[in-house]
Amino acid sequence: MPLHVSLSDHDGVEMLVPFNCPSLREVELNAACGFPSPADYAKELFNLADFLLLRPNATFVVGMTGDAMIEAGIFDGDKLFVDTSIDPEDGHIVLAFIDGDLTVRRLRFVEDRPVLVPANPDFPERTPEDMENFSIEGVVVSSARKFV
């Protein structure tokens, strides 16, 4: 279980430290409905960290609250895996520090200036007032969600 880093929540982002993940048994099929016995279709071990992370040593987890990114498939309660080793590019979903807040948004560049774009029309775009109060903390590479 990840330990909480001592940071206050800003704009719906809860910081968590990196974690270790056990390997799981993967079955060699995609189930449309129902679920067969995994023993009948056993493949190799499936490592969740290998699937979700590009560079585990450069990745941390944040918890998301709010609806600003729902059209990107990121929902309240999701865990986001943020890679600090990736150079952020136009179109990446990023964890950004802007004007005193941490936020998760899609990065766009307009006239060479960064614009943070929500994936929900109910939220405004955010453009840094000055670059001294703006930084990209990392690129969101994947997410996880519990159903029960």
Q: What is the model's pLDDT at position 3?
A: 29
In sequence order, which ranges of the chain are alpha helices (DSSP H)?
A: 48-52
Q: What is the model's pLDDT at position 17?
A: 45
Q: What is the model's pLDDT at position 30?
A: 58
HSE (side-chain half, CA atoms, 13 Å) at 147: 0
The CA distance from 142 to 148, in Å, is: 20
- Please give the model's pTM, rounded to 2 decimal places: 0.74
Q: Which regions of the chain are under pLDDT 70?
A: 1-43
45 touches 26 (CB < 8 A): yes
